[in-house]
Structure 1
């Protein structure tokens, strides 16, 4: 049985566990913020300027994103980023198409504040609006040099516990090179999250296609929600 504070933190039902990152105004878990500040200082010495563009997201915000896609109000994309014809898809196919690019409400690591999306402000012109696309973060992209630098820091165990939970394509969420996670706190919170708890939350929520999600929750949880232990850094500094 989860205590109320842990449940609210786990599912993004409260923001009591996050604080403001002063430069971006984004909300972050305090320990993740300290790790990001330490990494940012090193990055600035190397000529980069990391900026958080999306930190904590509450359940309601994630549900709005989900419902708009499920109702056809926002486009669905295939694994290559091309638009799908939603009229030709079953409910189950729509659910899995959404999950490829958007986290299930209640199952988003952004709820914890331990996870955040980052760009290199030093690489942007004043009017540039980051889109968080694979093209931006590939080695040849606008943020490529920063991420190549970060790759080396993570591999060397010099990223202060920050890592990429979606660094590779495991057949679930598409790779997100821009998505960083603070391993010590995220691992602890993930241990509380189960398919049964998430199914119960979705069942009680006004989530479009919620019944389909609940029917397939065990598979969804393993494929799209749970990050395997092997993906976490073995040693955190």
Structure 2
């Protein structure tokens, strides 16, 4: 069976400072680094000595966590910019209140994936979904049966949608709220070829980092 362990990066400095994340390249906090070590502990205990590949968004808060995980398995991190969070354009790195005042609300109906939030240069959800689906396609095409993917909150939600085969245009409504530092376990059953979500948003390991 193929296993993919989907990790949302742990606490980053922009969380603490109340800044918009997106492509703003913040780093992990001291607490976030401890959380990354706890994530590495859990994954090492679950995976053991099996061959493993580690993939990560190229933003520092994800890649730093991925590097700490990869060291446990003596492998290199495979960096992929397609695994980034959605860009908020000019709002990235600004106070969250700045974005909240300018954001154009997502409509309940209509072209939700193509909706533009307002800030110049912001990425549509459709652009985000297209690159994430492409990234996951490349990851699952690899022969290694155990893989770890370190990404971001909403990006990871769309990766789950891609894993279960949700059509891209259907992702305008589906969403999995994931906490920072969570582990979601995805499994491909080789008997009837189903793509399963066997554990969603697991954060029990974060207690060890408190």
Q: Which structure features the higher share of strand residues?
A: 2
Larger radius of gyration, structure 1 or 2?
1
Q: Which structure features the higher share of helix residues?
A: 1
* Same structural fold, with TM-score higher than 0.5 when normalized by the shorter chain: no
Normalising by the residue count of structure 1, what TM-score does the alignment of the two structures yield?
A: 0.29
Instruction: Flag the structure with more relative contact order, 1 or 2, with Cα contacts below 8 A and sequence separation at least 6.
Output: 2
Normalising by the residue count of structure 2, what TM-score does the alignment of the two structures yield?
A: 0.32
